[in-house]
């Protein structure tokens, strides 16, 4: 019997190795990591986490500690769907997404890790198992780099084994975006998979103009051209811009993804397992995409997500981007010939260096 005996969240401020820039969040110097450890009566432990780009982490920890933990302790860890519903409805009023979903995500990931460990299976096998090798791209956060620095970063990514690369767009002048994307295409050659991410920078017609200007460079997708609240706007951008659209890192419920899919407003469905509702919600979103003949990609948390895409026949690319969290992991993600490889140990296999993290802990 796997009864939840302990559920412990913690908050850390993790400095970034280098300052990151995109068109919406400006300069990012640190991110917030919220971890959640769940132990059952037999002493088996599952671990989950979520993160923010700098605000709201304290609230997420508070939701876990104050509101969710008391409602989960003593419950069977095995009935994840039931616990997920309980968490969702506990926080529904004034919740229904946002920080509530991030808190649920951290707990849900820990519960799936625990379940996989008890079953002696790597998470991707527990989830069905498709292919442990997942095509993977390097997610550059590089809007303010000049072209030389951008190409130098790109060469470093090629040396690391990446065979697909995403860059930021959304500079003040569209001509600068076009010049940067052209330089990357010329540097990488035809057929090399390249994506561009606008981080919600544009209005709808502006995004259509940008998509048309970028069409000659054969992007795999253009990401978050406008705010995630505008479903029909995305449909127009996709239809009239003529470039495939990825979005999802700022959608926080299964239903929000359904709205985009039904409206033909997205080409690449892109949930983040740490803010969409955890493994439980991510896999439903992947299946929703599959049912509509759409590929699924991912945002952030590549070490956990590699398992989810390794279980999804409609997986496209995994985003490799972890905010420099690799420094605090026992075994960072392996990239081989452009593919990330889901580890074969039981659970998700993400093991933090808790001692190193301790210095970053926030009360």
- Positions annotated as catalytic residues are 168, 299
Pairwise CA distance, residues 241 & 288, whole Å: 24
Extended strands (E) in 241-281: 245-247, 268-269
Rounded to a whole number, what is the distance in angstroms from the first to the last CA of the chain?
A: 34
User: What does 136-204 look like in DSSP terms, one character per residue?
Assistant: EEEE--BTT--HHHHHHHHHHHHHTT-S-EEEE---SSHHHHHHHHHHHHHHH-TT--EEEE-TT-S-H
6: helix, strand or coil: strand
Pairwise CA distance, residues 160 & 173, whole Å: 31
Shortest Å distance, C-beta 58 to its own copies: 4
List the beta bridge partners of residue 72.
Answer: none
Q: Is the dihedral of CA 271, 275, 280, 284 positive or negative?
A: negative
**Which residues are near its own copies by CB under 8 A?**
24-25, 50, 52-56, 58-60, 62-63, 66-67, 89-103, 227-232, 250, 252-253, 255-256, 259, 262, 275
Shortest Å distance, C-beta 117 to its own copies: 27
Shortest Å distance, C-beta 68 to its own copies: 8
**Residue nearer to its own copies on the CB measure, 231 or 360:** 231
List the beta bridge partners of residue 39.
Answer: 6, 45
CA dihedral 160, 334, 307, 220 (to 10 degrees): 10
Is-contact 57 33, C-beta < 8 A? yes
**Residue nearer to its own copies on the CB measure, 160 or 255:** 255
**Residue nearer to its own copies on the CB measure, 177 or 256:** 256
Extended strands (E) in 110-164: 133-139
Is-contact 214 181, C-beta < 8 A? yes
Pairwise CA distance, residues 343 & 350, whole Å: 9
- Compute φ and ψ for 76, nearest 5 degrees: -70, 125
Shortest Å distance, C-beta 192 to its own copies: 29
**Residue nearer to its own copies on the CB measure, 71 or 187:** 71
**Residue nearer to its own copies on the CB measure, 154 or 250:** 250
Closest CA to 143 of 221, 223, 208: 223
Shortest Å distance, C-beta 63 to its own copies: 5
Indicate the burial class of 297 (C-beta count within 10 angstroms; 0-12, 13-18, 19 or more).
Answer: buried
**Residue nearer to its own copies on the CB measure, 32 or 125:** 32
């Amino acid at each position: 019997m796997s009864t939840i005996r302990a559920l412990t969240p913690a908050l850390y401020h993790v400095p970034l190795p280098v300052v990151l820039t995109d068109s919406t969040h400006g300069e990012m110097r640190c991110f917030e990591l919220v971890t959640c450890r769940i132990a059952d009566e037999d002493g088996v432990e599952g671990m989950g986490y979520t993160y923010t780009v700098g605000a709201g982490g304290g609230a997420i920890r508070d939701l876990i500690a104050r509101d969710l933990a008391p409602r989960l302790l003593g419950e069977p860890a095995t009935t994840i769907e039931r616990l997920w519903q309980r968490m969702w409805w506990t926080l529904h009023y004034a919740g229904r997404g946002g920080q509530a979903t991030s808190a649920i995500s951290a707990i849900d990931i820990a519960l799936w890790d625990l379940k996989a460990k008890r079953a002696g299976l790597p998470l991707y096998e527990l989830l069905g198992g498709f292919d442990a090798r997942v095509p993977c791209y390097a997610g550059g956060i590089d809007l303010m780099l000049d072209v030389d620095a951008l190409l130098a970063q790109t060469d470093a990514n090629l040396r690391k084994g990446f065979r697909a690369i995403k860059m930021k767009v959304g500079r003040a002048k569209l001509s600068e975006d076009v010049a940067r994307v052209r330089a990357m295409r010329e540097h990488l050659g035809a057929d090399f998979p390249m994506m561009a991410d606008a981080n919600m920078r544009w209005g709808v017609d502006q995004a259509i103009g940008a998509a048309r200007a970028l069409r000659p460079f054969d992007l795999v997708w253009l990401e978050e051209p406008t705010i995630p609240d505008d479903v029909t706007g995305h449909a127009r951008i996709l239809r009239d811009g003529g470039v495939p659209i990825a979005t999802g890192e700022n959608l926080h419920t299964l239903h929000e993804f359904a709205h985009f899919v039904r409206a033909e407003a997205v080409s690449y469905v892109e949930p983040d397992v740490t803010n969409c509702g955890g493994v439980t919600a991510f896999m439903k979103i992947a299946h929703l995409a599959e049912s509509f003949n759409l590929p699924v990609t991912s945002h952030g948390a590549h070490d956990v997500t590699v398992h989810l895409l390794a279980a999804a026949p409609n997986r496209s690319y995994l985003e490799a981007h972890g905010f420099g969290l690799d420094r605090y992991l026992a075994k960072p993600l392996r990239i081989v010939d452009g593919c990330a490889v889901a580890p074969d140990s039981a659970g998700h296999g993400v093991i933090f260096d808790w001692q190193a993290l301790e210095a970053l802990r926030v009360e």
